[in-house]
Structure 1
């Protein structure tokens, strides 16, 4: 196979045939315009091989959208995102070891994405992970029978013989249909430079394609079909090797003929030969539209079954096909030359469909000749008479001059496309507290009349605040966040560090173009350092393409008090919660206990009873157990679920365990990911948290059981559990939901008031739903309130007395069993919210541990 180089001589020599190659002088682009820029794909790849891993970040940003489009055309949801991230990670390792592409990063990436998806999800088994992209499948090689023939096709072989830079420009311009201006940054050229390079690459592809046909002519081999059209022609008249000198002479001039570069005499000679030679006509048919042939052959190899969906989604992309349209735009003489070959084109279309549908090509059925009938001599035809001479022609009347047609008015100039108008907002969700996780929310809105370009948001976090997730620093190019930002945003750290002395960490977040009237949000999960300075707010600089579009700054930075955010999202969402107690009085041994459990009498506090384990599941493996109903709306999807449990603390506040049982299932032991303590009058209490999203997502709503949380029995003691779940419900209004948590003690020996700023909201004047989970609240002690900007809120749900002056009265929504849930409160409140609102939890007589605050508010925009 001949290997082309961009600096190749003007000719390519076969054994007897010389083919002219396009010269650099055929285009007006200067050498300086064709020099590689510092940020081209090729330069970035070279920097990565030299040890600069941070250069991979720009490659990641440039090509992430294309990788996602292909992955989502093959699989859906989180599986597509996982495949994309795995592919980028593996390719980085390949580049660092010196392998992989030199300049054509996009085709290499898309091939790797397709194979990753195939290996992970199409083979019905998960392979062992490997850090070498060349070793994808240790057992079964990746072979697609429908594409195996295309891999060996002549047009693909010609493409792969070209310099990689030519391959790259052909992929972007001819396969994906991108404009030269869009391809320029990838290749480090100007737009004119890309056009010039594409011209040379197309000519080089034609010459390589012809060279392969001519190599078959000189060796006597039958060349493989390059595309469906060539395959159809090979099945027909071109079943024998090219041995005719006239064919070889015509093929020698065919490249120049396609470009219109032959003299008139040579042009007529070639056209005459094409009229008589079906095989050369079929080769010309492919050569004249080599780009369509390349797209139809190479597209399925790189993109697989998603070729049509991917190319349709690409900017200016074209789906496979287009031969008929191409034929209609040929000059009439060339249409006449090819008219006899249109049957081959139709056969080519059928063959092309078969190549991507895993079916064998249809074989021609040759009709056997019928036996000859006895010949009878034909009767002689009568000799025709001589025709009469025609009458003399009548004098022609002088033609009248045709009336002059009025010149058509030029069409009015097209109105310029309306521009986008982008606005950005950024703020903390809840509060950023030292040594706590938190969330920074960012939203972008396009209020203009046209779509934006690709969005890039540079988010500056406060000093001492880091993005929660995988590796940072030199390995930040493959950073994987602990929780995805959501709404198709992709974010990674690019500068800064985690020390308070540093100026702060900058994140680069990217998103596809935003349509007119659309909005998008990202929720960035962060970790706040123990010495992070107070007061510096996060800020964002938004760009659309290369143009700065908007800037925004949050109102607050790291603060001294409040509740940090555990989870936040917006969409058609709802928040549901339930829970129950695990200690109660013993109705069999203590007089009046049964009455108190029904919320009757005047001993409705655990201060009056020797609290003992409540065990209702009839399961010998548990010592305490209770159940509650989780109301997950029909047709909804669980986005997040957290299990909280609390009781009397033992020695310290280390990790603790609890048991949970889904509807119809068995108990699972859960270990906390975070536990916090607070001091109550007679003992210390703790609250533990664990993420149980997968468990709740798999089992849905119904009766859930909690069991065996650490605590101590005795007078005034308590224990309990709660499930807090955020679901996507198509029937819900468009809302923001946030979950804030942290153990905050209130009472005589602690604070009388805990303020919870509700930041990061863009709420309407409609009522929001506020949820509170608290521990050790007493039904007969008043003075515990939930306030909104100082105004008391009345409980809207739960089985308690629903008094604004006794908001925490040992009642839990959804609890099954005793109505009085000693020391466990899961309740709801209704209020109208807006940005800057502050919720407050207060106490005058009672002592309790505030644990969780949820807010679900309808959004503006």
Structure 2
């Protein structure tokens, strides 16, 4: 029975406007009837496919069509897990992390590298497999703090800082207006800093580290000089040196801190692959646009690309032909490794071209997916 006064939504809509579907709404529709779930997957693909493929190219160190297979597996794993009721944060970081783990798992397999030789590259799958799993020590506080944030805060921080997108993009992903999203972004940055400071205190290896917790954070935040006692402590304490370095990113370079904490492998290259999709005047004042050199590359401003990035509904008819591949239970196992019966070709139709939202120039391998038949819909949960 419905309560007489249901709780208000976390972000009330602007008077006179109706926000579109948020990522959270679309994920909830994965439990719904066939038509709703198909539409939800198509929209999520339109929003996140390109970035997922871009990171797959980075992890493979290859522009081949194998990136499509990795991205498809990542979507299958993440959306399948969410459709099963798992609770997650912002969708984009989850998909990118799934790409990294898929490449790592496939590179460790005995058979898959024979079919996909890209996995043997020392700068790609083989290097990723050999790298230390987990978050680097120097980014553990940021990783823990980011995971503790609400999904809406993760979405705002990731898309404005790492993806270098104007505020209207994460606003549409959250289903809110830009004014609400801008105010929430300010709170998200404050939440992230507080969570980092709390993580430093909770994970401190000694009482002395906990004692210097606030003495370390306040001068860094205010741009002042650390007390002599704190400086002497940092000389002998690697844990607190890492904490001070991570806190310094809040003034310049929050994008690098987030990318390295969540992705690790290829984080800098992923940052360099992102482009500004909106005018600088529409971006938050403390975002990446204020520090164009923070990620190692200048980003080109393009109003036309911003408009294209908003056309997430374009091409839904074509997308409906390919979304079935993503959540079919018989496509891959829990590790994301293709089963022997999985097929990669487009036996039932021509290759479907994904719309390159917010991009121009030559189309990269991440822009296509193999077309499949509608019979796989029967395996979709719900």
Normalised by the size of structure 2, how large is the TM-score?
A: 0.60
Following superposition of structure 1 onto structure 2, how do residues 673-752 of structure 1 map, counting pairs within 5 Å?
Answer: none
1:513-556 CA distance string (max 9 Å, x none)? 464799xx9999899xxxxxxxxxxxxxxxxxxxxxxxxxxxxx
1:3-32 CA distance string (max 9 Å, x none)? xxxxxxxxxxxxxxxxxxxxxxxxxx9854
Structure 2 residue aligned with 1:511: 356
Equivalent pair of 1:470/1:482 in contact (CA under 8 Å): no
Selected match of 2:81 from 77, 80, 94: 94
Q: Aligned in 2, Cα 1:185/1:452: closer, same or farther, shift over 3 Å? A: closer
Selected match of 1:166 from 153, 156, 174: 153
Matched, 1:190 2:177: yes
Structure 1 residue aligned with 2:249: 289
Structure 1 residue aligned with 2:308: 453
Equivalent pair of 2:149/2:191 in contact (CA under 8 Å): yes
Q: 2-side partners of 1:311 and 1:167: how far apart?
A: 17
* Distance apart, 1:155 and its partner CA: 2.1
Equivalent pair of 1:87/1:109 in contact (CA under 8 Å): yes
Equivalent pair of 2:31/2:83 in contact (CA under 8 Å): yes
Q: Aligned in 2, Cα 1:112/1:100: closer, same or farther, shift over 3 Å? A: farther
Equivalent pair of 1:155/1:294 in contact (CA under 8 Å): no
Q: 1-side partners of 2:68 and 2:369: how far apart?
A: 17
Q: Aligned in 2, Cα 1:56/1:480: closer, same or farther, shift over 3 Å? A: farther
The secondary structure found in structure 2 opposite 1:305 is: coil
Equivalent pair of 1:158/1:209 in contact (CA under 8 Å): yes
* Distance apart, 1:308 and its partner CA: 2.3
Selected match of 2:197 from 210, 215, 225: 210
Q: 1-side partners of 2:85 and 2:100: how far apart?
A: 22
Structure 1 residue aligned with 2:140: 153
Equivalent pair of 1:47/1:53 in contact (CA under 8 Å): yes
Q: Aligned in 2, Cα 1:78/1:207: closer, same or farther, shift over 3 Å? A: same
Equivalent pair of 1:45/1:95 in contact (CA under 8 Å): yes
Matched, 1:40 2:22: yes
Structure 1 residue aligned with 2:48: 63
1:61-111 CA distance string (max 9 Å, x none)? 10001111111222332211112122222333212211252x411001111
Structure 1 residue aligned with 2:5: none
Structure 2 residue aligned with 1:586: none
Structure 2 residue aligned with 1:311: 271
* Distance apart, 1:164 and its partner CA: 2.3
Equivalent pair of 1:468/1:482 in contact (CA under 8 Å): no
Q: Aligned in 2, Cα 1:84/1:192: closer, same or farther, shift over 3 Å? A: same
Q: Aligned in 2, Cα 1:42/1:524: closer, same or farther, shift over 3 Å? A: closer
Following superposition of structure 1 onto structure 2, how do residues 216-255 of structure 1 map, counting pairs within 5 Å?
Answer: 221-222=205-206, 240-243=208-211, 247=212, 250=215, 254=218
Structure 1 residue aligned with 2:117: none
* Distance apart, 1:512 and its partner CA: 3.8
The secondary structure found in structure 1 opposite 2:227 is: helix
Q: 2-side partners of 1:171 and 1:204: how far apart?
A: 14
Structure 2: gaps (5+ residues): 1-9, 114-128, 235-239, 278-286, 292-300, 332-343, 374-382
Equivalent pair of 1:49/1:95 in contact (CA under 8 Å): no
* Distance apart, 1:38 and its partner CA: 4.6
1:322-379 CA distance string (max 9 Å, x none)? xxxx9xx99xxxxxxxxxxxxxxxxxxxxxxxxxxxxxxxxxxxxxxxxxxxxxxxxx
Equivalent pair of 2:221/2:248 in contact (CA under 8 Å): yes
- Relative contact order, higher structure (CA 8 A, sep 6+): 2
1:47-71 CA distance string (max 9 Å, x none)? 2234542212111110001111111
Following superposition of structure 1 onto structure 2, how do residues 256-335 of structure 1 map, counting pairs within 5 Å?
Answer: 258=221, 274=227, 277-278=230-231, 279=233, 286-290=246-250, 295-300=255-260, 302-316=262-276
* Distance apart, 1:166 and its partner CA: 1.4
Selected match of 1:105 from 91, 98, 102: 91
1:749-785 CA distance string (max 9 Å, x none)? xxxxxxxxxxxxxxxxxxxxxxxxxxxxxxxxxxxxx
Q: Aligned in 2, Cα 1:526/1:285: closer, same or farther, shift over 3 Å? A: closer
Structure 1: gaps (5+ residues): 1-28, 128-141, 224-239, 261-270, 318-325, 331-416, 421-449, 462-466, 491-509, 528-861
Equivalent pair of 2:276/2:302 in contact (CA under 8 Å): no
1:203-225 CA distance string (max 9 Å, x none)? 111112222334467xxx339xx
Equivalent pair of 2:41/2:323 in contact (CA under 8 Å): no
Equivalent pair of 1:155/1:297 in contact (CA under 8 Å): yes
Is the strand fraction higher in 1 or 2?
1
Q: 2-side partners of 1:295 and 1:418: how far apart?
A: 20
Q: 1-side partners of 2:81 and 2:173: how far apart?
A: 20
Question: How many positions carry a matched residue from both structures?
Answer: 295
Following superposition of structure 1 onto structure 2, how do residues 504-583 of structure 1 map, counting pairs within 5 Å?
Answer: 510-513=355-358, 515=360
Is the helix fraction higher in 1 or 2?
2
The secondary structure found in structure 2 opposite 1:99 is: coil
The secondary structure found in structure 1 opposite 2:193 is: helix
Equivalent pair of 2:348/2:372 in contact (CA under 8 Å): no
Q: Aligned in 2, Cα 1:304/1:457: closer, same or farther, shift over 3 Å? A: same
Q: 1-side partners of 2:202 and 2:372: how far apart?
A: 62
The secondary structure found in structure 1 opposite 2:183 is: helix
Matched, 1:116 2:108: no
Q: 1-side partners of 2:58 and 2:369: how far apart?
A: 26
1:142-174 CA distance string (max 9 Å, x none)? 884164434972222122222222122222122
Q: 1-side partners of 2:107 and 2:188: how far apart?
A: 37
Q: Aligned in 2, Cα 1:468/1:299: closer, same or farther, shift over 3 Å? A: closer
Q: 2-side partners of 1:451 and 1:169: how far apart?
A: 17
**Larger Rg over CA atoms:** 1
Equivalent pair of 2:135/2:143 in contact (CA under 8 Å): no
